[in-house]
Amino acid sequence: MEMKSDERTEDFARLRKQYGDVFHLKLGLSEFVVINGAKALHELIVKQADALSDRPEFMHKTSGGNGIGAASGDRWKEQRSFALRTLRGFGFGKRSLENQIMDEVNVFIKEIEKFEESPFDISHLLSISVSNIICSIVFGKRFGHDDVKFLHIIKLIHAGLSRTNFLMVGMTKMLQYLPGDITGVKAARERRRMITEFLEEQVREHRETFDKENIRDYIDAFILEQQSHSTPESFYSDEQLIETIRNFFSAGTDTTATTLKWAILYLIKNPRIQEKMFEEIKSEIGDSVSPSMEHKQRLPYCEAVIAETQRLGNIAPLSLPHAVKYDVTWNGYVIPKGSTLILNLTSVCMDPDIFPEPNEFKPERFINKDGHFEGQNKFSPFSIDLGHSGEINNWGVVRNIAAEGVANIAAEGVANIAAERVANFERLKSA
Ligand code: HEM
């Protein structure tokens, strides 16, 4: 079996044909169970959430189980609930964050304009802009596009996600002890150390200027909780804080930036779709104001473009691994305690029975006969709802910790890029 990520989902599709929706793999010393298809994912991950929301042990290794993304059990429940409450308090997923998002979108467009007609790589610009929105909540500040130290951290985060083969690490733990660095784990440790230094510096600055009467951001909120409500059973340690904010950056920056990158690519390749978004924005809200969340209901086609981007972009095809807390029975089979679960989200996003011609970019599939946006609950780019991902909202709409906020960022980003394209179009017409 291929362990390269782009070929792995094809292997899973082949094995699914042969062995069914749920099959077991023994790779190295580890037991994996791969779950495919909307039905099995729903029956297992949603209905048996309590048994299936932990993280496998190999994910605890570097973080010591701290943070949210790699945490399990009581720590995970307490810290995830604090994180959701606090992020929402600072406007995540709410209109109150909108001004910051709009400011960032404007800076982003200005940065692009600097290139005039020259070609440029948009990835880096997108990562900085998205990351700055997270920075505004976590650190209470944003960084300039020319801040060398910050740019370096963004690069490290990006490399962390794209260059380490975590499945391979989990599968064959011994590989990391061989000479060289075939799994990328050694380089990842070094990147991790540098990111930790940066985060520790931010926390140190916050402690020095902390004022409990003026809670500026996530770090302050955590310090306050640590000082006032922490009990011996709770998990408000300094390590927990560093890991959690690391999670926000690593889980939040590249995911959102990559989604926006797909959106831009699909729009470049489909000028007719771009035109339709433009027409919708122009007829519903005009071109004197920027599209914002308050206009969302009136822009079903723009919403459909975002949903279709998330479906086809499919940027987290195997979600994150889950662990089995106790034996679980499904269709007469036992999934044993201790197994690692792989959630094959591609099997839903690309299912031709749910999405005919799945390789085609067709936003119309999310528009119902009355012209309304509909059907995002057929899949979820944020994994399956429940525990590890967030609030339950029927099958598949996984509200991971960030889904709402991301929807805002992505929606405003895409709509504003479309609107900017509108402005250019108008300029061209009048020239
Ligand atoms: C389009 C953007 C995004 C996508 C597609 C995405 C996708 C995912 C997926 C698939 C998971 C694993 C869920 C599971 O284990 O079942 C996850 C977890 C997580 N994401 Fe995102 N994510 C996005 C943006 C963000 C953002 C902006 C943040 C910033 C706060 C974030 C923070 C997290 C955290 C903290 C977790 C771990 C949650 C837990 O283990 O309980 N994500 N995300």
Q: Of the candidates 306, 315, 311, 318, which has an alpha carbon nearest to the alpha carbon of residue 345?
A: 318
Sheet bearing 322-323, strands edge to edge? 22-27, 30-36, 340-344, 322-323
Report the pLDDT value the prediction gives residue 403, as an integer from 0 to 100: 41
Question: Residue 211 has what pLDDT?
Answer: 95
Which helix (H) or strand (E) segment holds residue 341: the answer is strand 340-344
- Residues of the chain under the 50 pLDDT cut: 163, 384-410, 417-418, 420-431
pTM of the model: 0.85
pLDDT tens by residue, 145-182? 999 999 999 888 877 655 455 555 555 566 666 767 66
Dist. CA 398–CA 14, nearest whole Å:
26
Task: Give the distance (Å) from ligand 1 centre to CA of residue 402.
Answer: 6
Q: Whose CA is nearest to atom 8 of ligand 1?
A: 382
Q: What angle in degrees, to the nearest 10, is found between the helix axes of 238-269 and 300-313? A: 110
Provide the number of structural domains found in the chain: 1
Report whether residue 315 contacts ligand 1, using a CB cutoff of 6 Å: yes
* CATH number of the domain that residue 362 is part of: 1.10.630.10
Site of tokens 């999670």:
247
Between CA 126 and CA 30 the distance in angstroms is: 37
Which of ligand 1's atoms lies nearest the C-alpha of 381?
5
The whole domain housing 378 covers 5-430
Six token digits for residue 349:
């996003």
**Spacing, Cα 389 to ligand 1 middle (Å):** 7
> Ligand 1 pocket: which of 88, 218, 255, 397 to mutate (most atoms <8 Å of CB)?
255
pLDDT of residue 388: 42
pLDDT of residue 393: 29
Q: pLDDT value at position 128? A: 92
